[in-house]
Every structure is written in structure tokens, then in C-alpha cells.
Amino acid sequence: MAHVTSADGTPIGYDLLGDEGPVVVLVSGGLDDGSESRPLGEHLVDAFTVVAYRRRGRGDSGDTQPYAVEREVDDLAAVIDATGGRAHLFGASSGGALALSAAAAGLPIDRIAVHEVPYQLDEEMLGAWRAYRADLAAALGADDPDQALRLFMRLAGSADADIAAAEAAPVWPALRALAPTLAYDAACLGDGAPPADLLAAVAQPVLLTTGATTDPHSAGLPVDYFGAAADAAAAHLRDARRTTLEVAGHVADPALLAPVLAEFFHG
């Protein structure tokens, strides 16, 4: 476990998994303190120097206010600088949106892979996204992390029974601690739609992966929601590649995803 100081003085924690080959930085998504990506990193360590870092507000990383997406890009720049000066990126969900923002900002990045970035594509979905952001701000402003988590789970397609089961589960207190970072993930996704100008500014090759089906806990999402979002994002990128994994669930099986990433990162 190590730390680096970001441009605004925020300490950012990270782990090095292996020290052979090109650097791959894992950028986590919503409600992930960095631990969710570790199994994937462990499948990549034979060929890569894998960096699993904790985004600000998570785990042992600081949370200097006020928040801005640009500060998260600065955090990623500091992690890359501390671990070799150049890197490939893998971003999961909203972490994929952050990874693409970092590339568009000109960070020293070689290739980017993203898995199931949750862009919104039609007016109904965009309206739900705007309502979510407003309701999330209200819940967090009222210091109600439980309501913030419920809002997020409903947006992600969870049924009320699934939300109730999650509230009763041992993991709920840890999720409550991460609830304020839901606002950071929302900021990374902006107005919800694929950001055409930002994506067009990404010069690097980008691999967009999705699962063949959604997780049963996301049954409320439209059919092929993530696939359609990935296709829409790819249309704005200069050098996009698409792959569908034969797996269900928003968190991809690392044993299936790692070989796909390894082939892509090796070029």
C-alpha cells in the first residue's frame, strides 16, 4: 500500500500488483473502494504492472472539497506519474467515463479499455438521470446516505425487494460510507448522454466491453442497455473497438475479461 499526493494536496492510496511489463491502472466505478477491481488485477499481473488505486473519498484516499471531475483527473495523473509515467487504463462503469475524461485531458495514456459505461440514450432515460442527480443531491445534502443508496440502486434497475435485501446485508454500512462518492460518479457522467466532443478528443485506441446480458438485480434496465450505450459512445471515438463478453452482470468475470484486456493492451 502506497500513497501519492494529488495537485490539490489530496492523498491518494494505491497498491501495486506485480511489477512486470507495461503499467495498467484500474479505475473503479460506483460504490467501489478499489477492492472490486483487485481480482481482475490479479489475473493481469503475469504480464503487466497493475495499479489499483482508491479514488478520492474512498478507502484511505482523502476527499478535499470542493469536488470537481478535474481534480479526479489530477489524481489519476499523480498515480500515473508515481508508477512509471505512462499507463494503459481500464475503467469500470463510471470509472470508464473518468478514464475517457483523463485521456481527453491529455494525460500520458497509451490505450483505454472501459466496461459498461452507463450513458443514457433517449429522452426518457435522460429525464430519469436528471431527476436522479437532483434527488441524490437532496439526499446527500440532508445527510441521508441510505436514501442516496436507494436512489442509486433504483436507477441501476434494482427492484424494491433487492434494495430491502441489500439494506439488511452486512455490506450496507460500508456502502453508506461510500454514498457521498455517488455524486462524484454522477459528475463524471455529466448530463448523462455520451459526451460527443470529449469522446472525439480521445486519440488513443479504446476498447468498449459489455456483458451479453444484464445482472438479474438490474432487471429494470432496458434490454441491451449497456450494449446500446457502448455502441453510441464508440460512434464518437476516433479508434473504437467493441467486444461482448459471454457473461451476465455489470461486474465482469475477471477470468473472462483479463485475456481480452491483455490482448488489447499488447496491441
DSSP codes of every residue in 31-70: T--SSTTHHHHHHHTTTSEEEEE--TTSTTS--PSSP-HH
pLDDT band at 231 (very low <50, low <70, confident <90, very high): very high
Closest CA to 105 of 69, 139, 54: 69
Report in angstroms the alpha-carbon separations of 188 from 21, 29, 64, 134, 239: 30, 10, 17, 15, 21
> Which amino acid, residue 165?
A
The pLDDT of residue 40 is: 96
What does the alpha-carbon distance between residue 175 and residue 145 come to, in Å, rounded to a whole number? 9
* Contact indicator for 49, 20 with CB cutoff of 8 Å: yes
pLDDT band at 109 (very low <50, low <70, confident <90, very high): very high
The pLDDT of residue 18 is: 84
What does the alpha-carbon distance between residue 30 and residue 50 come to, in Å, rounded to a whole number? 20
pLDDT at residue 216 tops 80? no
Q: Domain 2-120+191-265 in CATH: superfamily?
A: Alpha/Beta hydrolase fold, catalytic domain (3.40.50.1820)
Q: What is the mean pLDDT of residues 52-71?
A: 97
pLDDT at residue 221 tops 90? no
Q: What is the mean pLDDT of residues 5-10?
A: 98
Over the chain, what is the mean pLDDT?
95
* Contact indicator for 69, 187 with CB cutoff of 8 Å: yes
Predicted TM-score (pTM) of the model is 0.96
pLDDT at residue 132 tops 80? yes
3-state DSSP call for residue 115? strand
Cα radius of gyration rounded to whole Å, the chain: 17
* Contact indicator for 230, 208 with CB cutoff of 8 Å: yes
pLDDT band at 219 (very low <50, low <70, confident <90, very high): confident
- Domain boundaries of the chain, sorted by first residue: 2-120+191-265, 123-185
